[in-house]
Structure 1
């Protein structure tokens, strides 16, 4: 036990027991019902002074109500204006702030003789009290005991915070596990994810939630379990990435994040639009010089290659039918620089469109120069519509005889085109595209697809090694 002890205080019962104010400072048990020496003061109306009081008394997330009080023992004597008469009311000076607490080792004032007289000698020494239900035990406020209480309080607060985090489905819950981050977001690590978040966070300050027009459809909707706007922006982003990466149903996401299903729908659409705008504003098309500066060794025989192009299809519930498929599809053109960065993403078209037609409509032709080359699949018969050189595997199946150089070049180009296939595979690792896209998502499918393609540049390392 520490040699230095705080005074043991005898709490005294007041004649007027109707006043039931209690001090809200942690570890302070003062009550107006049992003490007439102390005065009890309400929080100031000024917001800045309110914040100072809350910070000083260490009550985070504290709601200030009209009945909340701080007793006079936490103010310096120079901050108190004594009442002119015994029946008067003690007041605080303007600007007074509580500064005396158990945790900064202030000494509690013992009751005075005057107070004992005012209360008609009703002092209750706990050691002499038996079965008096109006008495309050004397408090041993030794430094050691107070420090033990403080340590225990901190431990319990930490335990409560950890329990709350473990019960909450949000980014904070999985921040310590890169495996979980990869699973839910496709970002390689938590550090990758947070670096990306810092880039887009300024744009989230002006985010405008998408609302549904007309009456809300309540069919199969999850019961209301929280506020539609209760998620922090970073958890809304985490919800969007989980939806994109795992293809989770909106009802499932509503249960996980404890919000309405309608809120899930709005969050996904809002973030698809936001990221489409933010990432779309970043110029991804690279100059000839930039492409050559990052050219991998495996492309040395095709060093003028500006972009490797290919098309990919998405299955969907829609009336846009592909003529050679048994299901509905969208089709998009994607371009990759030789070192593996996405440098071109077209809009989506009906699945029946040809490779040549999608290349002409996509707008990429205007970006190509005569000094560059494109590398395409054998189905891209586009010599008459591009101004540059074309590297394409030879169509060998329809020819009776093929030269050795043609076979060698075809195999070489096919090996290099694997990189664009791997890129498309990374895009489709977002499970929302590996299943049939629901009709409800077709309104924002262009945004979702484009965002998934552009995110590949941020989520992982390069596809092709420099050496």
Structure 2
């Protein structure tokens, strides 16, 4: 049936470098010549069968890689001076099957000794089929188990993909990272919630198609030949989506971060951050400034809170605010910007709010040494007032002769030792109503850019930044008093 396994292999006088690659087989060219060594076939299909049978899946086949004749049945080896294998021969005899292909309980006919030439030719194929059932099909239960295993692996892949997306989102500093937390949205943008921010974005998104980016070159007028059309202007490449650019600008306004810090957070260059900030401050200044925030007397009366009973004709509540700025090196500029009230160089602006709390007027910024009366005169609010209106101001605004309307202002003590009972009540009533303009200014100064010392490097765009911050409060916040929302 096969070469006797009881042969004692002796060391040859002239050994060669042949060896068997089958695991647990120690045959090599150092032993006697009763064993021959055979190279792997060139046919890919047959070679894969050899590799699978010798149980060496990761086997690297070289010119010296061989299988000894011990692993082939005797009829597969053609005797002669140089032993060769029959075409299609496959190694099937190994140590793990005791070099035998016979079943555990052979039949009587198979146990009867016969000469080798009486064996039928079909025996080789039959033995091969016993060892390797190539036509066999897996049982249905095995297919079911394989399908279940594939489904389980797909679920694991989906879970890993979800975790990867979460990790990637956490590493990127953008709006979507904080979309699940209204507290984070409030901290970074001053908007009350993510839905609130999205509502504002939907209002301005159509206008972003016409946004003019700072730093882009204007198209030059060139004379071209009639037969050659001019190339269309190239659109600048964006490092961030438009909504994330707006988010970056709001973070800059809300937290007052340096451009270098923002560049590290958003993974872009510092110069790109500077261009984005300048682009969006000019865009929002133009867009929000084009919307008329000054309200008509009819609209004011329609939204008038009931607490303004005796002052129901109030059109606007006026107050000034000061923001500390970096001290310039020029002594002349220092004297102009120095504020006695803040004991520091400041920029001063005037805010006007309607009785129900909306910002309806924003002046330009002036030097800190200017008085409230002079700022009121130069702010441009006087042409907006008429005789049927009234303004509510603080004691520093002695503007009675400047305006054509009533002025509600707390009374002065003058030369009197104390205020009368009626004057005290008037002072309390006006102070109780004027406090709302202070709350509106506090909302504006929640933007840390104005709550710290403003650097002179942004002096060229500080007016736009201040106006945008004031106008954004009308979109970012809820009513100053919850009860007013029910009244309106």
Question: TM range, normalised to the smaller chain?
Answer: 0.5 to 0.7
Matches of 1:401 and 1:436, distance apart in 2 = 39
Q: Unpaired runs of 5+ in structure 1?
A: 1-118, 214-226
Higher RCO (C-alpha 8 Å, min separation 6): 1
User: 1:188, 1:202 → 2: CA distance?
Assistant: 23
Give, in whole Å, the separation in 1 of the partners of 2:415 and 2:464. 40
| Partner-residue secondary structure (3-state), 1:343 | strand
Aligned pairs (5 A) from 1:410-429 = 410-429=427-446
Alpha carbons 1:228, 1:259 under 8 Å: kept: no
SS in structure 1 of the partner of residue 479 of structure 2: coil
CA contact (8 A) 1:335 1:343 kept: yes
- Root mean square deviation, CA, Å: 2.7
Counterpart position of 1:321? 337
Residues 350 and 376 of structure 2 are in contact (CA less than 8 Å); yes or no, is this contact kept in structure 1? Answer: yes
Q: How does 1:363-378 map to 2 (within 5 A)?
A: 363-378=380-395
Selected match of 1:284 from 293, 297, 303 = 293
Aligned to 1:308: 317
For residues 308-341 of structure 1, the C-alpha deviation after alignment (integer angstroms, 9 at most, x for no partner) is: 0011111112435235354322111110000101
Residues 51-77 of structure 1, C-alpha deviations (whole Å, 9 max, x = no match): xxxxxxxxxxxxxxxxxxxxxxxxxxx
The correspondence of residues 167-186 of structure 1 with structure 2, limited to 5 A, is 167-186=171-190
Cα shift readout 1:156-191 (whole Å, capped 9, x = no counterpart)? 211111000011111111111111111111111111
Find 2:350's aligned residue among 288, 313, 333: 333
CA displacement at 1:401 relative to structure 2: 4.8
Partner of 2:251: 242
Query: Which residue is 2:463 aligned to?
Result: 446
Contact 1:254 1:264 in 2 (8 A): yes
Change in CA separation of 1:315 and 1:120 when aligned onto 2, cut-off 3 Å:
closer
Partners of 2:459 and 2:211 lie apart in 1 by 22
- The runs of at least 4 consecutive aligned structure 1 residues that moved more than 6 Å come to 138-141
Q: How does 1:343-382 map to 2 (within 5 A)?
A: 343-382=360-399
> Mind listing any 5+ residue stretches in structure 2 that lack a counterpart?
1-42, 61-133, 218-235
Query: TM-score, length-normalised on structure 1?
Result: 0.67
Distance in 2, matches of 1:132 and 1:195, equals 61
Structure 2 Cα separation of the partners of residues 434 and 121 of structure 1:
78
Please list, as runs of the form range in 1=range in 2, the aligned pairs for 1:90-239 lying within 5 A after superposition: 122=46, 124=48, 128=53, 130-131=55-56, 133=58, 142-211=146-215, 229-239=238-248
Provide the residue aligned with 1:75 in structure 2: none
Contact 1:307 1:373 in 2 (8 A): yes
Q: Please name the residue that 2:231 is paired with.
A: none
Deviation of the 1:457 alpha carbon: 0.7
What residue number does 1:24 align with? none
Contact 1:295 1:303 in 2 (8 A): yes
Q: What is the DSSP-based 3-state SS (H/G/I as helix, E as strand, rest coil) of the residue aligned with 2:347?
A: strand
Asked whether the equivalents of residues 308 and 376 of structure 1 are also in contact (C-alpha less than 8 Å), the reply is yes
Bigger Rg, structure 1 or 2: 2
Q: Following the alignment from structure 1 to structure 2, what is the Cα–Cα distance between the partners of residues 228 and 398?
A: 68
Structure 1 position 342 matched with structure 2 position 330: no
Is 2:339–2:346's contact at 8 Å kept on the other side of the alignment? no
The structure-2 alpha-carbon separation of the partners of 1:381 and 1:159, relative to structure 1 and needing over 3 Å to count, comes to same
SS in 2 for 1:205: helix
Name the residue aligned to 1:460: 477
Q: Tell me the distance in 2 between the aligned counterparts of 1:404 and 1:177.
A: 51
Relative to structure 1, the CA distance from residue 228 to residue 425 in structure 2 (aligned partners, 3 Å threshold; closer, same or farther) is: farther
Residue 279 of structure 2 aligns with which residue?
A: 270
CA pair 407-121 structure 1, distance change in 2 beyond 3 A: closer
> Against the structure 1 CA distance between its residues 164 and 132, is the aligned structure 2 distance closer, same or farther, given a 3 Å change threshold?
closer
**Superposed displacement of residue 288, structure 1:** 0.7
The CA distance in 2 between the partners of 1:456 and 1:388, in whole Å, is 28
Number of aligned residue pairs: 335
Note the C-alpha offset of 1:393.
0.4
Residues 414-458 of structure 1: CA distance to partner in whole angstroms, max 9, x if unpaired?
111000011101100101101110111111101110011011111
